[in-house]
Chains A and B, each alone.
Chain A
């Protein structure tokens, strides 16, 4: 399986779960089986790369797949697989498979279960993306995706649980903040790599990893620091460690998967990934070893004081992560093998322990140590799992946790920096605490008698499968180490050094790390036995890790308060500030002086169209002035319509016929819209508001100072725009003085050279439309082809706005709409409906029907001839919208709504948007670029046949149809929303004025 495909599969599955019509298909057993199955397939697929990598072993061969993304910036969407990626990939997919199975039977609520599983799948995809990324920016995108999915999972119960919300936000703040440092580090690292190779910045991992260590570079310390901030926030290192225990409000499968086995190791992965270039410098070594060792000790100590089982496990995770970070600090790949072993061992035992705790909470309803006890009889299988996992965690020989710890101690002994004693002491202490905590975890939960009788009910027996499998995994891994197969070769992929792994030291008690381990185990057992005597010590707040966080948050709050105090809470005030600042910005834009020098060149006089244009623009300005001074809203709305039509005429004279057409259509709809909206606002309110139009906010001696202030701001702003526009206009070549004969090259000779800076991209469009698409309408070609992705985004925005209107105005849609002939209340709305029903004569009905059909025909004609004449999907959609509007006006809401049920806005949007997106994406699968223009009729051999009728079948037509349906849907949504009769007690019952 291709690595890109491996990475994308979980996303695809998550997307599939998201499709609402398919929801009923995903019953619990099916979705569990599919998710688990997919994870297993991915695991096997990844494992399939192992022989390849093993064969390439000494040279660290890697598999690379790359697609250009932003080639100008050296950013690509690429995938990279070597031993390190493989280790992480196997952990993610292997443990992921188990977690999917467990998750399937963890939630009692169907809807929650599906939502959780799809988020978890999206996370698995993102996490695979982090470890399989072949470009720093691909890695960054995936890194952020893991933060976001983690946020969603921590806050999963956020609706009910404020702690979950707080924990999720905190995790997002901290990991997101760290990512800011990270992207800076990436840019600097890419630049350094580019310098080293004498090229532009490069971000692909392959060349970067092939570099010599950059420890001598002047930027090295900064890069190391930024990378560490990024990695430490993600991997919960001091002083950012506290988000992890707070993230325990996530449902347990997420804690197990994200917050112990995989996501928190993303930071560690990053450090290990960049180790080849970053290792050796003092900042790197000291930073990682000291912070890591300190975090290790701190985490283990805090774990002792935790009475919540998940909190205890979380702090032990922090501790282990610290140990791994310290290991990565050692130069010359000294600690890499131990780090890899520890990652594997920890993923196995900690995921199992979390799942055990999750099951305990599921079965007893609590996870507090003080309430639990004696579960050994009720959950014997889980007791065995816990025993094995806790032994591995405590580092009891010969389990994998022990082997990893021996490697850690060994690495420290070989360090030779003079601080070995301190570090060894910290490790021994942390190991002691871990042994104690492991003992507590096993004995106090499963053996000790509970303080009170527990409410106990059994969960699904399938919940036991995954923890058991993970415990078996721990045992099997230990055996593999003992046999010297698989694990050592895998580790060998990560480090060029040769290591020998033994379950037990060959020189027995003479081995120093073994002695330290034994002492720690003994001390841990002693501490465990005397645990009731010293527990009070752990409750003393030592270094409250969150102090700086709380301080930072409250400082932010304080500053926010100060800023809020200076604000008036009036929208107009903010607008005033915005426009004032913008005016100042434009004033400093140094536009005026160059303008004055060119102003002398303004040619006087002009052609006939210029005179017409001038007249129309004066008309437009006059109507704008009317909008301001007229006191009646309805008249103002009509004046506004006049302005819109004037602008439309300007477009027509430009000449821009496509634009003019859309402008006329939309302006008509706009006027209808505002008139209907006005009718929904009571006359009294409107009258009151109108009286205050001329009242500014600031008053001095009963004189509206604010009005003058507003006028000055508006005037200044208008003046600046005037200067800006005039500068632009004077600097664009007139046709007479055009420096280029358009399309000097005959079109048949191919692409016009656009490298000449004097040429605009428009020239390219003008000269190539015919050749590229066989179109004559250049504007249509730009909308549908050259800037097609722009159009896609734009119709999405439009649909979102339209749906917003629909949701906002028709919240009462499920309440039965009052029938049109009822006028008992005499509210203005009912009066409006009466108004509209008065239009409901046989003649108008006939007209409306005919017009709607005509609108369809014209729209279709527009679409078909869009290539050769003015008009396109937007015009067609607006036209259909207009037809619908007429129906609502003539037939009234109820009748129009039921008769147009087939054209329900939501359905139109649901068809139109996917059609557009599909039309853009499908060419990719046939080897064409995104949004490619494919002449389907030519491919099918029916071009000549269709051409007789003036018809064509190509992707552009389909695209335009999609745009038309979407725009139609958007317009109908808005029309339906405003036409919806809202009867509400809140509307006061005065008579309408309009």
Chain B
């Protein structure tokens, strides 16, 4: 059941992210990226090799319980920081566009080379 809900949540968040990215409003489009980053991280977590029920510490090895997959967690850890960097870059661009073109409507930004 939880699998189904997780998959639904990831799919829904992806849909929301994509939909936002397709908006004319650049701020909302940037927010779409943020939603997408989050759902991608969730997706990475979901595709871990196995499911566990205790945190991945070696001290938890005794006791016969399964550790959650540490590899995907390590991947997400770095992905979070990098996606923050790209999100900041995106927002910076939006801010620049707003200053230079006096608009944050992508359809009005006619010539980015200018």
Footprint of B on A, CB under 8 Å? 569-572, 575-576, 579, 602-607, 609-610, 613-614, 617-618, 620-621, 624-625, 627-628, 633, 636-637, 640, 643-644, 647, 650-651, 654-659, 662-663, 666, 669-670, 673-674, 677-678, 680-682, 685-686, 688-690, 692-693, 695, 697, 710-711, 713-715, 717-726, 728-730, 732-735, 738, 741-743, 747, 760-763, 765-767, 769-770, 775-779, 782-783, 786-787, 790-791, 794-795, 797-798, 800-802, 804-805, 808-809, 869-870, 872, 874, 877-878, 967, 970, 974, 977-978, 982, 984, 986-988
How many whole Å from B44's CB to the nearest CB in chain A?
A: 10
Q: Which 4 residue pairs of A and B lie closest in terms of their CB atoms, listed nearest first? A: A718-B15, A722-B11, A801-B85, A760-B49
Q: A655-B68, A685-B102 are in contact. Are A801 and B107 (CB under 8 A)?
A: no
Q: Are A732 and B21 in contact (CB under 8 A)?
A: no
Give the residues in chain A near B29, CB-CB below 8 Å.
572
Give the residues in chain B near A726, CB-CB below 8 Å.
3-4, 7
Q: Are A729 and B6 in contact (CB under 8 A)?
A: yes
Q: Are A688 and B105 in contact (CB under 8 A)?
A: yes
20 A-B Cβ contacts within 8 A? Answer: A602-B1, A613-B2, A621-B9, A627-B20, A643-B38, A647-B38, A651-B73, A685-B98, A714-B16, A717-B15, A722-B8, A723-B11, A725-B47, A733-B51, A742-B67, A761-B71, A766-B70, A791-B78, A874-B81, A978-B88
Give the residues in chain B near A678, CB-CB below 8 Å.
27
Give the residues in chain A near B47, CB-CB below 8 Å.
725, 728-729, 732
Q: With CB as the reference atom, state the residue of chain A lying closest to B24.
A: A692
* CA of A655 to CA of B54, assembled, Å: 6
Footprint of A on B, CB under 8 Å? 1-31, 34-35, 38-39, 41-43, 45-59, 61, 64-74, 76-78, 80-82, 84-89, 91-96, 98-100, 102-107, 110
Q: Are A801 and B89 in contact (CB under 8 A)?
A: yes
Give the residues in chain A near B19, CB-CB below 8 Å.
628, 710-711, 714
Q: Are B94 and A681 in contact (CB under 8 A)?
A: yes
Q: Are B85 and A797 in contact (CB under 8 A)?
A: yes
Q: Are B9 and A617 in contact (CB under 8 A)?
A: yes
* CA of A669 to CA of B83, assembled, Å: 12
Give the residues in chain B near A728, CB-CB below 8 Å.
46-47
* CA of A984 to CA of B49, assembled, Å: 53
Q: Are B89 and A804 in contact (CB under 8 A)?
A: yes
Q: Are A783 and B81 in contact (CB under 8 A)?
A: no
Q: Are B14 and A802 in contact (CB under 8 A)?
A: no
* CA of A669 to CA of B57, assembled, Å: 28
Q: Are B25 and A765 in contact (CB under 8 A)?
A: no
Q: Are B45 and A651 in contact (CB under 8 A)?
A: yes
* CA of A654 to CA of B69, assembled, Å: 9
Q: Are B81 and A798 in contact (CB under 8 A)?
A: yes
Q: Are A790 and B78 in contact (CB under 8 A)?
A: yes
How many whole Å from B25's CB to the nearest CB in chain A?
A: 4
Q: Are A714 and B18 in contact (CB under 8 A)?
A: yes
Q: With CB as the reference atom, state the residue of chain B lying closest to A607.
A: B53
* CA of A692 to CA of B19, assembled, Å: 14
* CA of A720 to CA of B78, assembled, Å: 26
* CA of A878 to CA of B83, assembled, Å: 13
Question: Which residue from B10, B58, B86 sits with its C-beta under 8 Å from A721?
Answer: B10
Q: A673-B88, A715-B15, A762-B50 are in contact. Are A692 and B25 (CB under 8 A)?
A: yes
Q: Are A628 and B16 in contact (CB under 8 A)?
A: yes
Give the residues in chain B near A644, CB-CB below 8 Å.
34, 38
For B16, B26, B28, B92, which residue has the most chain A Cβ atoms within 10 angstroms?
Answer: B92
Q: With CB as the reference atom, state the residue of chain B lying closest to A579.
A: B18
Interface of chain B: mostly helix, strand, loop or mixed: helix
Give the residues in chain B near A767, CB-CB below 8 Å.
61
Q: Are A620 and B9 in contact (CB under 8 A)?
A: yes
Question: Which residue from B1, B31, B57, B100 sits with its C-beta under 8 Å from A637?
Answer: B31
* CA of A715 to CA of B35, assembled, Å: 15
Q: Are B14 and A721 in contact (CB under 8 A)?
A: yes
Give the residues in chain A near B54, CB-CB below 8 Å.
655
Q: A613-B6, A677-B95, A794-B81 are in contact. Are A782 and B70 (CB under 8 A)?
A: yes
Give the residues in chain B near A790, CB-CB below 8 Å.
78
Q: A620-B13, A628-B19, A729-B46 are in contact. Are A808 and B96 (CB under 8 A)?
A: yes
Question: Which residue from B15, B22, B38, B100 sits with its C-beta under 8 Å from A576?
Answer: B22
Give the residues in chain A near B69, CB-CB below 8 Å.
760, 762
Q: Are B1 and A677 in contact (CB under 8 A)?
A: no
Q: With CB as the reference atom, state the residue of chain B lying closest to A720.
A: B11
* CA of A718 to CA of B7, assembled, Å: 10
Question: Which residue from B26, B42, B99 sits with its C-beta under 8 Å from A650?
Answer: B42
* CA of A787 to CA of B76, assembled, Å: 13
Give the residues in chain B near A650, CB-CB below 8 Å.
42, 45
Give the residues in chain B near A693, CB-CB below 8 Å.
23-25, 28
Q: Are B25 and A689 in contact (CB under 8 A)?
A: yes
Q: Are B66 and A742 in contact (CB under 8 A)?
A: yes
Q: Are A710 and B85 in contact (CB under 8 A)?
A: no
Give the residues in chain A near B80, CB-CB below 8 Å.
659, 662-663, 666, 874
Question: Which residue from B6, B30, B49, B110 sits with its C-beta under 8 Å from A725?
Answer: B6
Q: Are A718 and B12 in contact (CB under 8 A)?
A: yes
How many whole Å from A374's CB to the nearest CB in chain B?
A: 51
Q: With CB as the reference atom, state the residue of chain A lying closest to B109.
A: A571
Q: Are B5 and A614 in contact (CB under 8 A)?
A: yes
How many whole Å from B27's CB to the nearest CB in chain A?
A: 5
How many whole Å from B3's CB to the nearest CB in chain A?
A: 4
Q: Are B16 and A624 in contact (CB under 8 A)?
A: yes
* CA of A61 to CA of B19, assembled, Å: 67
* CA of A609 to CA of B73, assembled, Å: 18
For B25, B80, B86, B88, which residue has the most chain A Cβ atoms within 10 angstroms?
Answer: B88
Q: A656-B73, A659-B73 are in contact. Are A808 and B15 (CB under 8 A)?
A: no
How many whole Å from B111's CB to the nearest CB in chain A?
A: 9
How many whole Å from B73's CB to the nearest CB in chain A?
A: 5
Q: Are B55 and A657 in contact (CB under 8 A)?
A: yes
Given A572-B106, A804-B89, 5 new contacts (CB under 8 A): A603-B1, A680-B98, A714-B22, A725-B7, A762-B70
How many whole Å from B30's CB to the nearest CB in chain A?
A: 8
Question: Which residue from B6, B27, B84 sits with its C-beta under 8 Å from A689?
Answer: B27
Give the residues in chain B near A769, CB-CB below 8 Å.
58
Q: With CB as the reference atom, state the residue of chain B lying closest to A603.
A: B1
Q: Are A572 and B77 in contact (CB under 8 A)?
A: no
* CA of A769 to CA of B71, assembled, Å: 12
Q: Are A797 and B82 in contact (CB under 8 A)?
A: yes
Q: With CB as the reference atom, state the residue of chain B lying closest to A663.
A: B80
Q: Are A809 and B95 in contact (CB under 8 A)?
A: yes
* CA of A776 to CA of B45, assembled, Å: 21
Q: With CB as the reference atom, state the residue of chain B lying closest to A624.
A: B16
* CA of A666 to CA of B78, assembled, Å: 11
Q: A656-B55, A714-B16 are in contact. Are A673 and B91 (CB under 8 A)?
A: yes
Q: Are A729 and B7 in contact (CB under 8 A)?
A: yes
Q: Are A765 and B82 in contact (CB under 8 A)?
A: no
* CA of A474 to CA of B81, assembled, Å: 61
For A602, A714, A738, which residue has the most chain B Cβ atoms within 10 angstroms?
Answer: A714
Give the residues in chain A near B38, CB-CB below 8 Å.
620, 643-644, 647
